[in-house]
Amino acid sequence: MVVDPSLDGPRVAFAIGRQSGIAVERNRARRRCREALRSTTLPPGLYVFGLTRPAHEVSFARLRTSVADLQARISL
C-alpha cells in the first residue's frame, strides 16, 4: 500500500497465485474481492491485495469482514 493524495482514487491490483485454483476460480475470486471493496472507502493510493488460500472457499460475508478489517488498519 502506498497512500498518494495526488491520485483520483484508489488503484487496486490483486495477486492471486495458481494455488488458489484454476483460472475460473481465480477470476471469480478477483470479482468477489472487487465487489467487497466497493463497499469501502479507501484513501487515494496504490494497493495490492494478495490471497493466501483459495478464495472460492471463503463466504462473501467473511470476505467483506476481512476487507473492513483491512480498511480499519489503513485508517490508523
- pLDDT for 18-47, tens place per residue? 888 889 988 998 999 899 998 888 889 999
Establish if 63 belongs to a structural domain.
no
Q: How many domains does the chain have?
A: 1
Predicted TM-score (pTM) of the model is 0.79
List of residues 6+ apart from 74 with CB closer than 8 A: 1, 3, 42, 43
Establish if 7 belongs to a structural domain.
no
All three cell numbers of 65: 469482514
Establish if 17 belongs to a structural domain.
yes
Mean local confidence (pLDDT), 65-73:
86
DSSP-based three-state secondary structure for 57? helix
Establish if 30 belongs to a structural domain.
yes
Q: What range does the domain containing 36 cover?
A: 13-52
